[in-house]
Homo-oligomer: A and B are copies of this chain.
């Protein structure tokens, strides 16, 4: 077993050994859940724990997958999804609110529109007597480590029997400048051998330099293109993302010819037969629903993986025995 896991703030804490272990725990938990006895074992494993889901940024998937992961493990949950629900929270400092949550629960899972709050909460925890782990479920535009974990799991299992992620060519398409999903996933690629990344985006939405610098330091091979057609034929996986128009300053998303960065039945013909198509969802027009029935479309499976990987993460954090 790899070393212990406490706070989960950014994807860089995940080394290969830990990633492999989390993928294995995910498989174990899923297998257990298939029988009544196994499900009862999972349900009892963390029944003495309580979680706070503090989601001041709206979320369906991340919230529901964490909430149901807690249900699977018997963890009792409390939620604040609308900070306006509590006038007290408005009147007190962020630190006092977080410390208050920590008085009642055993883990705080938080998602905020602001950058850096999860790491600030973790730093606070490290200073107080009743220290509880902080799990970053998305903090502003920067990192979304649990999304990166479920993406890794989906890639690994999609390439099962083909050597896993090692040696694969992975395309990432869409709004690469602002999507934190792609950013977080890139940070994890150094854990795999001979991965090639192909970034496909409109010129104004290219991957940022800080990521490219990291990739260069980690000696990860990557190329950039604005033309999907050139790239599709060489890919083992295509990770499609939507335009993050909520961060638009002057409607710059609207100027993109989205058709050039969207997948439909025609584009699927260019993709190799063993390749997979992923997407963090929710999707916009960048994936035609007609693609859903293609066996290479794994984004719905990826979504379900999210719950099970979060089950694994909570098992690992608390050291639960299965």
Contact = CB atoms under 8 A, between A and B. Distances in A.
Interface of A: 33, 36, 39-40, 43-44, 47-48, 50, 52, 58-61, 63-65, 67-68, 70-72, 76, 78, 80-82, 85-89, 91-93, 95-97, 99-101, 103-105, 128, 130, 246, 281-284, 289, 300, 303-304, 306-307
Contacts of A64: 52, 78, 100-101, 104
A283 B96 contact: yes
Given A47-B40, A103-B304, A307-B103, A284 B95 contact: no
B59 A86 contact: yes
Contact of A68 (B39, B50, B58, B283): B50
A282 B39 contact: no
A48 B60 contact: no
A104 B282 CA distance: 15
11 contacts: A59-B88, A60-B88, A61-B100, A64-B78, A70-B76, A81-B85, A92-B283, A93-B289, A99-B300, A103-B300, A103-B304
Select the residue from A58, A82, A89, A103 with max chain B CB neighbours within 10 A.
A103
A63 B92 CA distance: 16
Nearest to A97: B60
Select the residue from A59, A65, A67, A306 with max chain B CB neighbours within 10 A.
A67
Given A59-B86, A60-B88, A81-B85, A96 B282 contact: yes
Contacts of A307: 103-104
Contacts of A65: 103-104
